[in-house]
Structure 1
Amino acid sequence: MGAYRLGLKSGRHPVQRISAVAPSTPLFAAPTIKAGLPEANTRWSDRLWWFDWFTTEHLGEAPVWHYSPFGSGPADKASNWWAIPDFAGSGDIKGVWELSRLGWSVAFATQAAHGDVEALATLNRWLQSWLRDNPPYRGANWKCGQEASFRIIHLLATAIILGQERTPEPALAETIALHLERIAPTMSYAIGQDNNHGTSEAAAMFVGGSFLSALGWPKARHWTATGRRWLENRARHLIAPDGSFSQYSVVYHRLMLDTYSFVEMWRQRWDLAPFSGTMHTRLIAATRWLDAMVDRTSGDAPNLGANDGARLLPLTESDYRDFRPSLQMASVLFRGQRAIGDHGSWDDQLRWLGISPDTTTLSRPASETFDDGGFHVLRTGRASAYLRYPRFRFRPSQADLLHMDLWVDGLNLLRDAGTFSYNAEPETSEYFAGTASHNTVQFDERDQMPRLGRFLFGAWPKARRVEFVSKGETLRCAAAYTDHRGARHHREILLRSHGFTCTDTIDGRFDAAVLRWRLLPDAYRLENHRLSSNRMRLSINCNDSDIRINLTNACESRYYMHREQIPTLEIAFNHSCKIVTTGEF
């Protein structure tokens, strides 16, 4: 990444020399109407959506592409993209980028595929508006290669839905090409980040390159080969043998898996050469990992790790926090079997992309330890519990060591705070990424790791006394760590069909500490050391009589740029001790 930045500073980077003229004609023709299609996604018919929760009305007119409802002013739309600072003055840039990912294009395509002429007209009008207001390589919407990759994937998904991926309008091919020209020169920067930027951009190079190769574009074969090479490389490097992903995040894991699912669907559709057995094996493991995280009742999953609102291929009206469509598609493509036996909206994504969901169904995942990434998963009857512990091969983005998540009957009873925003005021960003926003022990009002930058912690602890999930009528797991200042925390969890026991042993060097339990919003009663609601009862026992127990409120963010208050139980103490939390549900 240093060479990339030096090249830009010198003015000699190849990306600074590219230029293009955007097409001005429609990107899509009227489709041939087919019977038996899934229901159309009509969410965008009269509303604009940001991060699946903030919405405003539209009357068919195109959005203002450099506006964010969360920003302090319009983003730069005239400067060369490489001259725009990473955190410029329009607030969190993701609010600007959200509509420019073109996720709405696949929604309008599902309507147009049903014969909705106005939806097709809106689709073309908005795309032409975007190309006109975002001239190639100028303005904030060209700043990120991954954002350009999302546009390629959504445009090609739109072409599939409309049956035009093999006989495209010239404007579509030109648009794909000018995006690949933007992505190709900065691939090294994306790869250097060791995260989903590399997987997304490699996916766009592969699918976009093979699309243009069939049309005879000169550079297309090179783009395709580059995409294939980096897809293979990233799968080997970023996905651990147990399926854990480099970003230690459920949302980013889904994004990575969705890009690989789209690539595999595209490869099969075009009868391209298979990828390696190693890549396929890693993607099977990554699918198993997501399967272990997803709650079948709600479709939701623990809010573990960074959550930036990313969602690829919104082909159905399912909620952003419903992970079942992604899980089902990956399972059918990589494991050859359905993850979810019942038919539902999670199958519609497959049908729109021409993937047959009619396969056998896998059994529900059992309790398991994913030690490569540092995750214990306990599952019995109605309940699931998750314990996060440090196994860092890549940089962590949250100080969430020994966080516990608890789910019962589809409800997240003990929960993670999420992320909120990458560019909020420092106090807010540090809170959501920090130890105080997790169900764990915080020592001396500091994070478990010292913060070195906006996205970087230092002094990564090593997991100790890790005990893999032991199975039986009562499930058990454990892990411990010692931080850079000598404070020690060991956590053991026992999960039963109607309750749990969490034993925290705390010692080492510290002056004061707090154990937090972040709770499902509900009416709670705290009496002495007992907390109760209609859904759960917690009892706190400690060998230190000086502990102070308080029921307070704290912030939570389940959707990017959205936050609300949730009840939080805090147990404060000043000495080494053992705290036993017993839960009944």
Structure 2
Amino acid sequence: MRGGPLSISFDWRLRLDAMLRLGPRPVVLALLGRGALTRAMVAVRLRDRLSPVALRAPFPAIPAAGGFDAALRAARLRPMAGPDIRPLWEANRWAELPRLALAGEAARMPEHLAAWFAANPPYRGPNWGCGQEAALRALHLALAAALAGMEPDAGAMRLLARRIGANPAYAMAQDNNHPISEAAGLLVCGLATGEARMARRGARRLDAAVARLVAPDGSFAQPSPAYHRLLLDVVSVAEWLRRRGSGPPAAPATRERMAAATRWLHFLACPQTGALPRIGHQDGSHFADLSGAGPEDARASLERAARLFCGASAGWRQDPGCAAMGLPAPEDTLPEPGDWASLGFLARRSGGARAIIRTGPLRFRPGHADLLHLDLWVGAKNLLRDGGTGAYNPQDPGWIPYFQGARAHNTIGFDGEDQMPRLGPFLFAHWPETGALPEGGWLRDWRGRFHAREVFATAEGYRIEDRVGGPFREAVLRWRLAPGGGWRPTRDGVEGPLRLSISGDAAIAFSLVEGQESLAYGKASPLPVLEARIGPGATRVTTLIRLS
């Protein structure tokens, strides 16, 4: 892999810098969540419990330990210490339960639960190692039971609630989807077990998490369209269940921000296919997929959220998932996406094309060094594209610096370095300074190197203006091209499904090289990359994109 081995710095100055940028709240919560006293308390809270249901009949094999110690107490699990745990967790979120309910086979759910608990005794093994995973199971179980007109298994819900509530500080320290999911799971567990106090606590935490992590314009703490979709799915299911069960209502501000979050993702989704840009962490997560859309099509997620929070349709009125939930199609429809800007993103249209820029500010910890990356979509075709994620704990250690670094994004990299030094798979130090421009944004990195980018729609397509400055030896502009397009080098760029012409105020060296992209979690495939290299005397680079 081109990224080379994962280089993690343990320089205390970088760690101190990262702590200062994160802010006192997540740092204190992280120390509490990982501290010895908390670990001891979690171990007490998660003492061995008997399975709530007995295994009465054979059931298809349940994915269990996946290379981890199946007898390990959940409080002692270190998710990054063994093989990649994410595929195992995804397979154990009980997504099959709503499908059983929709297929008229809800009578098989107790059998499934019995088999799962037999393979995963309470609070033992990797599948009990994360409160968010327990919350997603609780939400799927409660949703499936509601669709079938049943009550969820109270014993199972109590076990899940205990795991969710064992270490809330860890989840809240993440400032991402974890506190959202765990609060929603606690709310639903309280509704299912008749414990009103638990339901109220979950509702309060969900209101607080949405207020902190979702901005008034709808942008989410994680600058990732895929995780934004998970936000909509989790909160939508919790909202439907709480309305159905007469649970504590969401705060008005929560409803307003979730409506804004729905419109936000609607602007980014491809209207023809529901595909999302692979910007930020992208691991294929999809939740409560009642329409069978899969991870590549967000239209059903948007339709459900739009009906619940916006009182409108997102344009897919025949969505079977909404029909199964009894959500009628409103008369109003969300407006068609146009030119748009939010905290972290900017989009500009040119005919049937969309150019999307990843801008600042960095309100929460960044997942990728992808500032000023540009995605280009022409209709349903993603012609200039992000590299995706690869995996969080891959066998090839070069995947993390490559897919999360500047080389896997359509931006400018300086001197072979990323925009910020890496401290670990999910943490950077020395976040760049950022600012907004009328048609884009700018950054200044920790070494004083400067990059500003603006995108302008033209009669033929787009003009991308990049300005650079500061103490650099070489800057490399990359355009990552859709594979299979028959791309051919030209004197000043490349041509294929579109033409890229690059010019500047200094000499430019062009090369068409092979890069990698990750279209699905844990997988990588080649694609062509146009690289334009400039020296320290350059200050301006212009890319003309001709669509015809």
CA contact (8 A) 1:287 1:327 kept: yes
CA contact (8 A) 1:238 1:245 kept: yes
Task: For structure 1, list consecutive stretches of 5 or more residues without a partner in the other structure.
Answer: 29-58, 68-73, 114-118, 214-219, 469-476
Equivalent in 430, 433, 453 of residue 462 of structure 1: 433
Between 485-494 and 11-20, the greater mean CA deviation after superposition: 11-20
CA contact (8 A) 1:65 1:99 kept: no
CA contact (8 A) 1:62 1:125 kept: no
Q: CA RMSD in A?
A: 2.0
The letter for the 1-side match of 2:539 is C
Equivalent in 160, 164, 188 of residue 150 of structure 2: 164
Following superposition of structure 1 onto structure 2, how do residues 204-243 of structure 1 map, counting pairs within 5 Å?
Answer: 204-213=185-194, 220-243=195-218
Following superposition of structure 1 onto structure 2, how do residues 148-159 of structure 1 map, counting pairs within 5 Å?
Answer: 148-159=134-145
Following superposition of structure 1 onto structure 2, how do residues 137-286 of structure 1 map, counting pairs within 5 Å?
Answer: 137-165=123-151, 168=152, 172-213=153-194, 220-286=195-261
CA contact (8 A) 1:385 1:405 kept: yes
How many residues get paired? 515
Change in CA separation of 1:279 and 1:306 when aligned onto 2, cut-off 3 Å: same
1:403 deviates by 0.5
1:143 deviates by 0.1
Distance in 2, Cα, partners of 1:78 & 1:142: 11
Counterpart check, 1:518 vs 2:492: no
Distance in 2, Cα, partners of 1:393 & 1:138: 36
Counterpart check, 1:583 vs 2:545: yes
Counterpart check, 1:449 vs 2:420: yes
Distance in 1, Cα, partners of 2:55 & 2:299: 34
CA contact (8 A) 2:353 2:376 kept: yes
Distance in 1, Cα, partners of 2:493 & 2:175: 45
Partner of 1:37: none
**SS of residue paired to 1:405:** strand
For CA contacts below 8 A with separation 6 or more, give which structure has more relative contact order. 2
1:81 deviates by 1.0
1:26 deviates by 7.7
CA contact (8 A) 2:344 2:360 kept: yes
Counterpart check, 1:81 vs 2:51: no
Equivalent in 515, 522, 532 of residue 554 of structure 1: 515
Distance in 2, Cα, partners of 1:518 & 1:294: 20
Task: For structure 2, list consecutive stretches of 5 or more residues without a partner in the other structure.
Answer: 1-29
Distance in 2, Cα, partners of 1:121 & 1:328: 29
Counterpart check, 1:362 vs 2:334: yes
Partner of 1:128: 114
Distance in 2, Cα, partners of 1:15 & 1:406: 52
Deviations 1:164-207 (A, max 9, x none): 13xx5xxx111111110111121222112111100000001111
Change in CA separation of 1:123 and 1:224 when aligned onto 2, cut-off 3 Å: closer
Deviations 1:197-225 (A, max 9, x none): 00000001111111211xxxxxx222111
Deviations 1:59-98 (A, max 9, x none): 972234223xxxxxx2211011111223233x10112212
Following superposition of structure 1 onto structure 2, how do residues 28-107 of structure 1 map, counting pairs within 5 Å?
Answer: 61-67=60-66, 74-89=67-82, 91-107=83-99
Distance in 1, Cα, partners of 2:39 & 2:532: 54
Counterpart check, 1:405 vs 2:375: yes
The letter for the 1-side match of 2:221 is S
Counting aligned pairs with the same residue, the percent is 36
Equivalent in 308, 317, 320 of residue 292 of structure 2: 317
Partner of 2:532: 571
Following superposition of structure 1 onto structure 2, how do residues 449-528 of structure 1 map, counting pairs within 5 Å?
Answer: 449-464=420-435, 466-468=436-438, 477-496=439-458, 498-521=460-483, 522-528=485-491
Partner of 1:22: 51
1:365 deviates by 2.7
Partner of 2:16: none
CA contact (8 A) 2:63 2:88 kept: no
1:272 deviates by 3.1
Partner of 1:3: 32
1:360 deviates by 2.1
CA contact (8 A) 2:302 2:314 kept: yes
Distance in 1, Cα, partners of 2:306 & 2:75: 39
Distance in 2, Cα, partners of 1:420 & 1:247: 17
Equivalent in 523, 540, 547 of residue 502 of structure 2: 540
Partner of 1:473: none
Distance in 1, Cα, partners of 2:302 & 2:39: 45
The letter for the 2-side match of 1:61 is P
Distance in 1, Cα, partners of 2:414 & 2:426: 21
The letter for the 2-side match of 1:65 is A
Following superposition of structure 1 onto structure 2, how do residues 288-303 of structure 1 map, counting pairs within 5 Å?
Answer: 288-303=263-278
Distance in 1, Cα, partners of 2:491 & 2:255: 54
1:145 deviates by 0.4
Distance in 1, Cα, partners of 2:458 & 2:95: 42
Change in CA separation of 1:27 and 1:513 when aligned onto 2, cut-off 3 Å: farther
TM-score, length basis structure 2: 0.90
1:577 deviates by 3.1
Partner of 2:10: none
CA contact (8 A) 1:395 1:456 kept: yes
The letter for the 2-side match of 1:266 is L
CA contact (8 A) 2:33 2:168 kept: no
Change in CA separation of 1:496 and 1:18 when aligned onto 2, cut-off 3 Å: farther
Distance in 2, Cα, partners of 1:294 & 1:134: 37
